[in-house]
A and B are shown apart, each in its own frame.
Chain A
Amino acid sequence: MLNIVRVTLKGIFRDRVFHGILAVAVVFLAIPSVSTLSMRQVTELSITLALSLESFILLLLAVFLGGTSLWKDIERRYTFSVLSLPITRSRYLFGRFLGIALFLILTAAVLGAGALVAVKVVSSGYPPDRPVAWGAIMAAVGFDALKYVFLVAFAVLFSSLSTSFFLPVFGTIAIFLVGGATQQVYDYVHSAAARTMAPLVRQVATLLYYLLPNFSSFDLKVNAIYAVPLDYHGLALTVGYCVIYTSLLLVAAAAIFGRREMK
């Protein structure tokens, strides 16, 4: 499996799409000057920008690497030569997932460092009212990366089902949007405003809330920007949730991919 991880990473590093996406990271250089355009809360703005940019790049990578990696192997007929080696389908799939996950974490670390540098530059020029919560910024980057690793598991599941890149890419984008909204929908359904709603609708919404992924607890931007203390117990739950959900997705993907015909 390590072997597949290695090959996956080599593939990503030598891919032109990857070079293009990383070029976006150059925008980090612009953060200090853009932040100063704001009259107040310059440091807060720089943190917001840095985290959003990092998140956007990771999203692109998660969708495109996760959604196209398996599809490309099938489309270019690499699966014939690779899956006929003594590697089980599930090992191949997990290897691919781990390779992409590792790469996302690596990128998050590099971009996170970039974000810290950008914020440091800004905060030394425009000292903020309260001290910058460096730990919270790093936690925000880490949990953001975790969220995208989780998203990649969805991409892998969709890839194991589909013969084109359409479902993996757009399905993953859809999951990203849905996962970001589930908490809000749930909160709305259980709020006073929704009391007129049919009970059935409310039950369906609640069921979906438990089935669909919920990305809101991965979002620590507020903690990072306003130096709000972290809720460690909640974060531990989030990690557990992510690990269990991701494992289930991968097991399902492996079961489907194992039965798949390489025609």
Chain B
Amino acid sequence: MNMDNSPAIAIENLSKTYKGKKRAQVEALKGMSLTVDQGEIFGFLGPNGAGKSTTIKCLVGLIQPTSGSARIKGIPVTQVESRRSMGYLPENPAFYDYLSAEEYLTFVGRTYRMSADQLTTRCREVLRQLELWDARKRPMRGYSKGMVQRVGLAQTLIHDPDVYILDEPMSGLDPIGRALVKEIIIDLKRRGKSVFFSTHITDDVEKVCDQVGVIVQGTLVAVDRVETILRSGVEGYQVHLRTPAGEPAAVIAGITPDRSNGPLAEYAVPCARFNAFMEAVNAAGADVALVETKRRDLEDFFLSLVHDHSPHR
């Protein structure tokens, strides 16, 4: 198999049923397939309990799928080698807390067979990048949640892998931390890396992702490019017209202004009637101050998908 042309992540028909006590079963994943191409940033979006972490744990070999298979850069995830070119950030991660960040990164780097020289250089770079430099010698026992999360990111970056699998990388971070994570992901994209990250926050996806997959109750219900979703979501336009002083805002092409704001009147124009409306505006010689597109954003898209695919709603 030519590894260079293999997708970063290929998941085929993956199912996972958790067996609990007394025959209690949870069908967490139901035959899911998806592909993340090399160089792609893939947002894995789904509400709590949708099966995001289950998918990711199958990818990194922590649990065995009930059926189906997955490959990282062409190598089946059942092989340890599949994890060599990968960095994984667990959800709410925990690391040997008696070690310092520096010691832990050294430990991780050694498992990736990095040389001592490489390790020293990379450790410094990564610790600086994640603003852990001053705390690097302190045991992680004394770290805040945000700092531990940053150690988690640092240990995915240390060996500079091609594929990044991040389970809720922004959780537990303050706005500054979140911005830092987005910056890191965008930087990875610029360097041609592949990132697969799960989240339940649409805003994170909108800002950084190329591709988004929506998972609801163990089923992938949509996969699309973020731009396509954003473009397809245009519902109409908000047109602001300047009205001559003292005159009330007029009804134009049958549309009444929904707001008059001093010398400005705002009209909500649906897509289908936009051309007719603008012709009427031109005919009346009205002065257009501003045209805004009104779109359904990713959040609405996500909410409607979740709504459609939840049986009890």
Q: Which residues of A contact B (CB under 8 A)?
A: 3, 6-7, 10-11, 14-15, 76-88, 259, 261-263
The CA-CA distance from A11 to B100 in the complex, in Å, is: 12
The residue from B63, B94, B98, B112 contacting A263, defined by CB atoms under 8 A apart = B63
- In the assembled complex, B236 has its CB within 8 A of some CB on chain A: no
Can you pick out 6 interface pairs between chain A and chain B where the beta carbons lie within 8 Å of each other? A7-B99, A10-B99, A76-B97, A80-B62, A81-B93, A83-B61
Q: Is the beta-carbon distance between A261 and B111 smaller than 8 angstroms?
A: no
Given known A-B contacts A7-B107, A263-B63, A85 and B90 have beta carbons under 8 A apart = no
Contact check, B95 vs A81: say whether CB atoms are below 8 A apart.
yes
A contact residues around B152 at 8 Å (CB)? 81
In the complex the two chains form, is B98's CB within 8 Å of A11's CB? yes
Chain A residues, Cβ within 8 Å of B155: 81
Output the residue of B60, B92, B152 with the most chain A CB within 10 A: B60
Q: Which of B1-49 contact A (CB under 8 A)?
A: 18
Interface residues of B in 73-116 (CB under 8 A from A): 80-81, 83-84, 88, 90, 92-99, 103, 107-108, 110-112
Apart from A7-B99, A86-B83, list 5 A-B contacts with CB within 8 A.
A10-B99, A11-B96, A80-B90, A81-B90, A86-B84
B80 touches A86 (CB 8 A): yes
What is the size category of the interface that chain B forms with chain A? 20 to 34
The answer, among A6, A77, A81, A263, for a CB contact under 8 Å with B18, is: A263
Quote the shortest CB–CB distance from B194 to chain A (angstroms): 17
**Interchain CB contact (< 8 A) of B88 among A84, A259, A263:** A84
Which residues of chain B are near A83, meaning CB under 8 Å?
A: 61-62
Q: How far is the CA of A85 from the CA of B98 in the complex (A)?
A: 19
Closest 5 CB pairs of A and B: A262-B62, A80-B90, A84-B60, A14-B98, A86-B83
Which residues of B126-148 are within 8 A (CB) of A?
139
In the bound complex, residues from chain B placing their C-beta under 8 Å from that of A82 are 96
* Residue among B18, B83, B93, B112 making CB contact with A80, cutoff 8 Å: B93
Nearest B residue (CB) for A259? B64
Cross-chain contact of A262 among B63, B80, B98, B99 (Cβ < 8 A): B63
Q: What residues of A have a CB within 8 angstroms of the CB of B84 in the complex?
A: 86
Residues of the A chain whose Cβ atoms lie less than 8 Å from the Cβ of B81 = 86
A262 touches B94 (CB 8 A): no
Inside 8 A of A10's CB, which chain B residues have their CB?
98-99, 103
Asked if B94 and A76 sit within 8 Å, CB to CB, the answer is yes
Cα distance, A263 to B18, chains bound together (Å): 9
**Counting CB contacts under 8 A, is B189 at the interface?**
no
Q: How far is the CB of B288 from chain A (nearest CB, A)?
A: 57
Q: Please give, as numbers and ranges, the residues of chain A lying within 8 Å of B98 by CB-CB distance.
A: 10-11, 14-15
Cβ of B57 < 8 Å from any Cβ of A? yes
A12 to chain B: closest residue by CB = B98
Q: Which residues of B contact A84 (CB under 8 A)?
A: 60-62, 83, 88, 90
Query: Quick one: given A7-B107, A86-B83, are A261 and B64 in contact (CB under 8 Å)?
Result: yes
Q: Which of A10, A78, A80, A83 has the most CB of B within 10 A?
A: A80
Q: Give the distance in Å from the alpha carbon of A106 to the alpha carbon of B61 in the complex.
A: 35
Q: In the docked arrangement, what's the CA distance between A77 and B15, Å? A: 24
What residue of chain B has the Cβ atom nearest to residue A262's Cβ? B62
Closest to B90 in A: A80
Q: Would you give the shortest CB distance from A180 to chain B, in whole angstroms? A: 34
* Contact status B93-A87, CB under 8 Å: no
Nearest chain B CB to A233 CB, angstrom units: 43
